[in-house]
Structure 1
Amino acid sequence: MDLIVLVPLLLIGFFIIIAAFFTVKQQTAAIIERFGKFTSIRHSGLQFKVPVIDRVAGRINLKIQQLDVIVETKTKDDVFVRLKISVQFQVRKEKVYDAFYRLENPRDQITAYVFDVVRAEVPKMKLDFVFEKKDDIAIAVKRELNEAMMDYGYDIIKTLVTDIDPDVQVKAAMNRINASEREKIAAEYEAEAERIKIVAKARAEAESKRLQGQGIADQRREIARGLEESVDVLNNVGINSQEASALIVVTQHYDTLQSIGEETNSNLILLPNSPQAGSDMLNNMIASFTASAQIGEQMRKDNVKREARERKEKRELPPSTDLPESGYDDDL
């Protein structure tokens, strides 16, 4: 009978001794209460408490934690936008008591402050400034949270605006505006490139025309020099200049006909090209030169007569009475 009673007592004593010891993980704090009243705070390691009398009321995580809060609000230009605010916070070791006993749900408290700050700051800004001033929004949230949560034993490490999501229709409109702006810039660059190409092409054509004109001028100069030498040779054998020029033209005419005949694939037709054409061309050119010489001689005679008449009229003019006596010339 004694053995039957002793074994249960030993088992009960064993479990009581085991219950007296407990462990606390790293970066964690345990709250010890005795009969419902706070007794102590235990940190990492193997800890001892009075069995039955003391109990672990709770544990506090001392690591840096993150809470993501999504806030929907309206901007100054009446655009609804969703902001994702990431809050990194930590329980201060010296404020574990306040964090455990003074605040029932710290995450709900932080969320409420984030909503309050964001909905106070964003309506003051237009949508474009919300994107530009997101760091200012994060700083305002952190400042407000620090002031509110420090009394409860929480330290706000950092706040970040990690996402800004406007309404779907507004986002589509912004994308169209951005695309239009980029197309405008692209069109300006393309127009500038086309202008540069046109200017370069015009300069190249101008230079080509200049060189072509210079080549034609040199060619005609050499042709004229050759014709001059040909005329001098013909003059030496008793052929005057007009007849020599006509003969050279006719000779070039027949040379051209010969070169055309040598080209089997040529579509060029030289008019006139009959056998009588050379003789007619020669006669017409001689007649033209003769008529031109006669006209030139007549014009020269007319000019001589006109100049003689003008000199005669000038000598017959009376002296001007408007001139002063000192300026009068008796020889007139």
Structure 2
Amino acid sequence: MDFINPLLFPLIAFGAFIFFKFFFIVKQQTAVIVERFGRFQSIRNSGLQMKIPLVDRIAGRLSLKIQQLDVIVETKTLDDVFVKLKVSVQYVVIKSKVYEAFYKLEYPHDQITSYVFDVVRAEVPKMKLDDVFVKKDDIAIAVKTELQDAMLEYGYDIIKTLVTDIDPDSQVKEAMNRINASEREKIAAQFEGDAARILIVEKAKAEAESKRLQGQGIADQRREIARGLEESVEVLNKVGINSQEASALIVVTQHYDTLQSIGEETNTNLILLPNSPQAGSDMLNNMVASFTASNQIGEAMKQNKKKNPDKEE
């Protein structure tokens, strides 16, 4: 038994060597290119695969997953603003064109980058800076169209292209921020002016309405006073007091009522002119004398008119 064991180890080692040389494993979503004596022999997909040792060799492996390449391009816009664009390209190796992808194109990343630079530097100089932000999707579509036509020949399919970042020069960004701030301040000032104008208009309307209502109140007050005076004169006429005496009596009564109401106010800014107890009687006498004189003048004019009917006044 001790004599056999040393012979088994070389056999086991040789068997393992032959196994690993004959067989190999290909992962999922991966393609392996096998060459025989330096010439393309076959493409192996996922699973356990076999090759002849010393005859066949694995030339390379290609991933069949979707991959992404980010390309940063610096260019100038139509209004002479330098800007950096980050373009993300999502691509995949076409399963039926693994041979072309492996043998026709050695550096796919460099090829894709060159096409992205070419398209972006052809499209962006036609646009102003503001249009670059607005039409970034158009730039992405132009890049995809150009890449799709160019890379299809090499076995690559362009899934999507995206302009993920637009970065102008720092001085340009500061200027843009100042412009935006000024525009917002202008809009805010316009809103504030509109609000102030609305307040002024509404205040004027309120004052006009207040004056209208105040005037209407004064008119109603005077109307009621006149109605009350008319009723007072009618009552006094019924007891034998004529209209002139009644009017004088009412005026004197209102005079004393006014003095009484002023005396009842403790906090008042009114200035009272000198007054005497005879003021009421003097006012009454003056009014009666005025009414009497007025009646006499009126009667004289009537008599004169009767005597001279043809005489024009």
Common topology (TM > 0.5): yes
Kept after mapping to 2: 8 A contact 1:257/1:270: no
Q: 1:295: Cα distance to partner?
A: 7.9
SS of the residue 1:215 aligns to: helix
Aligned position for 1:101: 103
Aligned position for 1:226: 228
Aligned position for 2:118: 116
Q: TM-score, normalised by structure 2?
A: 0.85
1:35 pairs, out of 26, 34, 37, with: 37
Aligned position for 1:179: 181
Aligned position for 1:20: 22
1:59 aligns with 2:67: no
What is the CA RMSD across the aligned residues, in angstroms?
3.3
2:90 pairs, out of 81, 88, 91, with: 88
> Residues of 2 paired with 1:89 and 1:117: CA distance?
17
Mean Cα deviation higher: 268-277 or 158-167: 268-277
**1:84–1:221 Cα change, 3 Å:** same
Q: How does 1:122-201 map to 2 (within 5 A)?
A: 122-201=124-203
> Residues of 1 paired with 2:305 and 2:152: CA distance?
118
Q: 1:63: Cα distance to partner?
A: 0.6
> Residues of 1 paired with 2:233 and 2:80: CA distance?
96
Q: 1:26: Cα distance to partner?
A: 0.8
**1:187–1:290 Cα change, 3 Å:** farther
Q: 1:21-42 CA distances to partner (integer Å, 9 max, x unpaired)?
A: 1111111101112232221111
Kept after mapping to 2: 8 A contact 1:17/1:51: no
**In the alignment, residue 96 of structure 1 is paired with which amino acid?**
V
> Residues of 1 paired with 2:254 and 2:274: CA distance?
13
Q: 1:168: Cα distance to partner?
A: 1.8
Aligned position for 1:69: 71
> Residues of 1 paired with 2:304 and 2:51: CA distance?
146
SS of the residue 1:217 aligns to: helix
**In the alignment, residue 66 of structure 2 is paired with which amino acid?**
I
**In the alignment, residue 152 of structure 1 is paired with which amino acid?**
Y
SS of the residue 1:72 aligns to: strand
Q: 1:233: Cα distance to partner?
A: 3.2
> Residues of 1 paired with 2:191 and 2:247: CA distance?
60
Aligned position for 1:258: 260
SS of the residue 1:271 aligns to: coil
> Residues of 1 paired with 2:302 and 2:192: CA distance?
64
How many percent identity over aligned positions?
77
Gaps of 5+ in 1: 312-332
**In the alignment, residue 229 of structure 1 is paired with which amino acid?**
E
Q: 1:154-174 CA distances to partner (integer Å, 9 max, x unpaired)?
A: 111111111111122222222
Aligned position for 1:211: 213
> Residues of 2 paired with 1:302 and 1:160: CA distance?
114
Q: 1:183-230 CA distances to partner (integer Å, 9 max, x unpaired)?
A: 333333343344344333333333333232222212111111111222
Q: How many residues align?
A: 311
**In the alignment, residue 72 of structure 2 is paired with which amino acid?**
I
**1:21–1:265 Cα change, 3 Å:** same
SS of the residue 2:130 aligns to: helix
SS of the residue 1:159 aligns to: strand
Q: 1:265: Cα distance to partner?
A: 3.6
Q: 1:215-255 CA distances to partner (integer Å, 9 max, x unpaired)?
A: 22121111111112222333444544333323222211211
**In the alignment, residue 87 of structure 1 is paired with which amino acid?**
V
SS of the residue 1:99 aligns to: helix
**1:26–1:232 Cα change, 3 Å:** same
**1:260–1:2 Cα change, 3 Å:** closer
Q: TM-score, normalised by structure 1?
A: 0.81
**In the alignment, residue 189 of structure 1 is paired with which amino acid?**
F
Gaps of 5+ in 2: none
**In the alignment, residue 103 of structure 1 is paired with which amino acid?**
L
**In the alignment, residue 209 of structure 1 is paired with which amino acid?**
K
